Amino acid sequence: MSRLSKVKACLLTVAVCWIFPGPSCFAFEDEGFQFWNTAKLSFDINRDWKAEVDEELRFGDEGGTLYYHHTDLGFVYKSLAQWVDLGFNYRQVFEKDSDRKWRRENRPHLNVTLKAKLLDLDLSTRSRFEFRDRENKEDLWVYRNKVMAKSPWALTQLRLQPYVAEEIFVSLDPTKYLADRLYAGMYLDISENMRADFYCLLQAKRLRDTQHIHVLGVALKFRF
């Protein structure tokens, strides 16, 4: 095994170890440090359509207590134009409330992603319209917009591709600013069909809120 392959294997091992952290006896706190872990699978159905599914786990209380889990299934239409993708998704969410009880949420969402290049940077903006059918709260329509810029240059022998992104959340009924997420991360191609995404995330729950969530995230993406 080459040195490069060994380094990639070590990074993958660290990611897998993070997926299964030890148990915690503390209650979840919706602030401070968290760890998010995601596994994504996508495959082409035909020339026009591809299918996607992902599972995500979120751990609060300094990354030790599972408080959130979702499964997301979607279909993306790729042939509308080279610069736009249209996605139709359904997400089922299980999340602990303030009483530490698991609550279910059904979340269908529509995604429109626009893509472009500027000074060799890969740019994208994804608009998401989602309906949140919540078990213990009123239903909610939410608009999310995520803007991302990816570097065209691969760094080091590992060919890491850095990126930055920002995502805002706005309630549509009534119109109200909900949250803002700032991302900084790097992609690592482990094999032809497998990519790792290591990122840090800062989330403010409200505009000018002094309480923030600091997230270390790992996403493994498989494409066939």
The domains found in the chain, sorted by start residue, are 3-22+32-223 (2.40.160)
pLDDT (0 to 100) of residue 120: 85
Pair type for strands 212-223 and 194-204: antiparallel
Paired tokens of 222 = 């498989």
Instruction: Give the distance from CA 198 to its chain's centroid.
Output: 11
pLDDT for 99-129, tens place per residue?
Answer: 899 999 999 999 999 999 998 899 999 999 9
Reference 222, options 44, 40, 15, 19; nearest CA is: 40
pLDDT (0 to 100) of residue 13: 41
Backbone angles phi, psi at 13, to 5 degrees: -60, -40
Tell whether the model's pLDDT for residue 1 goes beyond 60: no
> What stretch of H or E contains 18?
helix 3-19
End-to-end CA distance of the chain: 24
Say whether pTM exceeds 0.75. yes
**DSSP designation for 96:** E
Whether 71 and 53 have beta carbons less than 8 Å apart is answered as yes
The rounded distance, in Å, linking the Cα atoms of 89 and 85 is 13
Residue ranges of alpha helices (H) inside 20-72 are none
More confident residue, 206 or 214: 214
Least confident of 123-132, 174-183, 195-204, 209-218: 209-218
pLDDT (0 to 100) of residue 7: 41
Count of positions (residues) in the chain: 224
Specify which residues 114 forms β-bridges with.
84, 125
Q: Would you call the peptide bond into 174 cis, given omega within 30 degrees of 0 as the criterion?
A: yes
Whether 160 and 182 have beta carbons less than 8 Å apart is answered as no
C-beta neighbour count of 54 within 10 angstroms: 19
Coil, strand or helix at 128 = strand
